[in-house]
A = this chain, B = another copy of it.
Amino acid sequence: MQVSTEQLFTAARTQNGYVDEGVGDGTLRRLYELLKWGPTAANSTPARFVFVRSPEAKARLLQCVSPGNVSKVTQAPVTVIVGMDLEFHEKLPKLFPHTDARAWYAGKDAAIREAAFRNSSLQGGYMIIAARALGLDCGPMSGFDAAKMDAAFWAGTAVKTNFICALGRGDPSKLMPRHPRLDFDEACRLA
């Protein structure tokens, strides 16, 4: 499918409001079918996703988010909760079958947590770009009560919330002026 770097990067904006237009199951499945191919350490793919759309689930989510994020979550047709599975290594015999990669992590809590956080965040980045490729606007947020989120959406699992991201068609009237970025020489060095 043809897309443009303007759509993915240079012209894409973080949205604060959304128009009243739903996002179907098919679009969410296509989103996963793109993002799942992004690279992760030992193909561990530790990110887990809950796509919150129903009034019941949205009400539960609204109990967990910071006051500044209530109107965004209320308006967005979907808010995806990006989690990280702290038992991701149990799937490595399937995902990375040619060696015993499970043994690199099993029983090593700090290594598990670091790999789960890094790689689920990478996958969150792939998700944001893939959503834009499908014509969705994104509003990533990290303002929420993590313990409440984990209890409300990941009870009975080893998954912890990493961040959340509103998805939908943005309302351009709610956009803020664009913030500056660091220059190449402030952020990069050639060596």
Q: Which residues of A contact B (CB under 8 A)?
A: 1-6, 8-10, 12, 14, 25, 28-29, 32-39, 41, 43, 45, 47-54, 57, 91, 94-98, 115, 117-119, 121-126, 128-130, 133, 138, 140, 142, 153, 162-163, 176, 179-182, 184, 186-191
Contacts and interface: CB of A to CB of B under 8 A. Distances in A.
Contact of A189 (B50, B176, B180): B50
10 contacts: A5-B130, A12-B37, A32-B187, A39-B140, A41-B140, A53-B191, A97-B179, A98-B176, A118-B163, A121-B122
A37 B9 contact: yes
B37 A10 contact: yes
A191 B39 contact: no
Contacts of A34: 5, 9-10
B121 A188 contact: no
A77 to B, nearest CB: 13
A168 to B, nearest CB: 15
A9 B28 contact: no
Contacts of A29: 184
A45 B5 contact: no
Nearest to A91: B182
A38 B125 contact: yes
A184 B30 CA distance: 10
Given A29-B184, A119-B121, A129-B129, 17 more contacts: A3-B4, A3-B8, A5-B34, A9-B126, A14-B39, A28-B188, A28-B190, A37-B181, A38-B125, A41-B140, A43-B179, A43-B181, A48-B189, A50-B188, A97-B179, A125-B129, A153-B191
A187 B45 contact: yes
Contact of A129 (B8, B28, B153): B8
